Amino acid sequence: MSTPPFVPEEAMPAGPWVLVVGMHRSGTSAVTGALGRLGLAVPIESDRWEPSEDNPDHFESRALALHCDRLLERLGGTWDRPPDPDSEWDPDLVLALEELGDPAGPASAAFPDAGPVVWKDPRTCLLLPYWLAHLPKPVAAVFIWRSPISVARSLQTRDRLHLADGVALWERYNRCGLAGLAGVDTFITRYESIVENPLGKLRDLATWLGSLPQFAAQSSDWDIDGAVASISPQLLRERGSDGSDLLLDEHRHLAELLRSLDGPNPSLAPPALGGESPWTTALLGDRHQLAVLSIQRDTLRETVRLQEWKTNELNARRDALKVDLDRAMAALTDMTELYERMQASTSWRVTRPLRQIASFGGQ
């Protein structure tokens, strides 16, 4: 038997990589688009999601997003039901995630060409320990955050989430993102400040990136004007002027910590974040439980539907057999009546002696 040809494993694109990390509806698409205009490669167009009414281009890899969804599912969550942030990334958990396949495949689908790349997916806030273990070093990150009420209102408009759910998700994502970037060269900025001063903020961001050794050779060719031109003041569609009564001390403290870290943070050392607010933990826990119950309900509904289908099939077979039985009974009745008429007929009585003689002859 001939030996099959050796097929080498697909290698993760070398990059260098810039991660745009931030909660959904926090401006990650706009910042990624600006970095693409600056000169970094975004996911190729054939791999990106279709434009939506609220976002003309997500600059988000379909292949990598689906891989993130599978990772979250294995962790017991989804983007809007994030897994428990206290879950330890122990060897058993890492092994379970590795069973989902090598991420180099979807990464190569998103970035087939060599050179610096920028990748954003809000789910990475929840999955940084996994991705930082797989991406080529060194990795740089741009952490984008936005006011919690603005995020909540935007989620309410897009996904019809309650404002309270949006604020809870804001806290979980930003806490996980900040903690997960520990030790990574990270530029932190507030999305509103980029929209209000695109030239200043993007110039600072480009200067910082260019100061990192892995990007120094390309930085002289970057197009800062193109990056600035991609940012429009109309991007701030949802403003958090109302709803501040939903914010707890933990939310305000987290926002202040993020504000205090504005700008470059070499080998980010996040300050002590404290515990997640019990309100957020309980609310997201209830969302998870509700989703589990919904899945169980749908499973039961499907079971009932299948049972109804089987019952209808059995009833149809019973009805068909009843029709066949009725036909057989009708035929038997006709034959019985015919036999009785024949016995009662004159010819039957007249030929009786002949039948008796025939019977004697056969003995």
pLDDT tens for 64-91 read 999 999 999 998 899 999 988 776 677 6
Q: What is the DSSP string of 170-229?
A: HHHHHHHHHHHTTTSEEEEEEHHHHHHSHHHHHHHHHHHHHHSTTTTTTGGG--HHHHHH
Q: How confident is the model at residue 94 (pLDDT cuts 50, 70, 90)?
A: confident
151 close to 23: Cβ distance less than 8 angstroms: yes
20 close to 118: Cβ distance less than 8 angstroms: yes
Q: What's the average model confidence in pLDDT over 219-231? A: 93
Closest CA to 27 of 132, 128, 166, 151: 151
Q: What's the average model confidence in pLDDT over 231-241? A: 65
Q: How confident is the model at residue 1 (pLDDT cuts 50, 70, 90)?
A: very low
Domain locations in the chain?
A: 17-276, 279-363
User: According to the model, what pLDDT value does residue 140 have?
Assistant: 98
**Residue 239 above 60 pLDDT?**
no
User: Residues 145-166: pLDDT tens digits?
Assistant: 999 999 999 999 999 999 999 9
22 close to 122: Cβ distance less than 8 angstroms: yes
Q: Which CATH architecture has domain 17-276?
A: 3-Layer(aba) Sandwich (3.40)
| Alpha-carbon separation of residue 51 from 69, 95, 223, 245, 316 (angstroms) | 20, 35, 24, 34, 49
Mean pLDDT (the chain) is 86
- Kindly state the tokens that stand for 245: 């009564």
Q: How confident is the model at residue 327 (pLDDT cuts 50, 70, 90)?
A: confident
User: According to the model, what pLDDT value does residue 30 have?
Assistant: 94
Q: How confident is the model at residue 13 (pLDDT cuts 50, 70, 90)?
A: very high
Q: What's the average model confidence in pLDDT over 316-337? A: 84
- Name beta bridge partners: 120: 20
User: According to the model, what pLDDT value does residue 71 have?
Assistant: 93
Measure the CA–CA gap between 209 and 263, rounded to whole angstroms. Answer: 11
DSSP character for 188?
E
- Residues above pLDDT 90, as percent of the chain: 59
- Residues above pLDDT 70, as percent of the chain: 83
Q: What's the average model confidence in pLDDT over 135-147? A: 96
Within 10 Å of residue 204's Cβ, how many Cβ atoms?
17
Gyration radius of the chain over CA positions: 35
User: According to the model, what pLDDT value does residue 11 have?
Assistant: 86
109 close to 61: Cβ distance less than 8 angstroms: yes
163 close to 156: Cβ distance less than 8 angstroms: yes
Q: Which of 31-40, 119-128, 312-321 has the lowest mean pLDDT?
A: 312-321
Measure the CA–CA gap between 138 and 273, rounded to whole angstroms. Answer: 25
Task: Give the HSE-up count for residue 27: Cα atoms under 13 Å, Cβ half-sphere.
Answer: 31
Cα end-to-end distance, the chain, whole Å: 79
Q: How confident is the model at residue 312 (pLDDT cuts 50, 70, 90)?
A: confident
Measure the CA–CA gap between 93 and 74, rounded to whole angstroms. Answer: 9
User: According to the model, what pLDDT value does residue 6 have?
Assistant: 35
Closest CA to 135 of 33, 214, 29, 81: 214
283 close to 168: Cβ distance less than 8 angstroms: yes
Phi, psi at residue 118, to the nearest 5°?
-125, 125
87 CA to centre of own chain: 19
**Residue 60 above 90 pLDDT?**
yes
Q: Which of 123-127, 221-225, 285-289 has the lowest mean pLDDT?
A: 285-289
Amino acid 60 reads: E
> Could you tell me which residue, 43 or 101, shows the higher pLDDT?
43
**Residue 241 above 60 pLDDT?**
no
User: According to the model, what pLDDT value does residue 321 have?
Assistant: 83
Q: List CB contacts of 253: < 8 A, sequence separation 6 or more.
A: 274
Closest CA to 153 of 342, 52, 26, 288: 26
User: Residues 153-212: pLDDT tens digits?
Assistant: 999 999 999 999 999 999 999 999 999 999 999 999 999 999 999 999 999 999 999 999
**Residue 27 above 60 pLDDT?**
yes
Q: Which of 136-145, 272-281, 308-317 has the lowest mean pLDDT?
A: 308-317
> Could you tell me which residue, 2 or 258, shows the higher pLDDT?
258
Q: How confident is the model at residue 246 (pLDDT cuts 50, 70, 90)?
A: confident
Q: What's the average model confidence in pLDDT over 292-319? A: 72
- Kindly state the tokens that stand for 66: 């689906």
Q: List CB contacts of 191: < 8 A, sequence separation 6 or more.
A: 22, 26, 27, 30, 31, 144, 145, 146
Measure the CA–CA gap between 243 and 151, rounded to whole angstroms. Answer: 11
Q: How confident is the model at residue 8 (pLDDT cuts 50, 70, 90)?
A: very low
Measure the CA–CA gap between 193 and 206, rounded to whole angstroms. Answer: 15
DSSP character for 118?
E
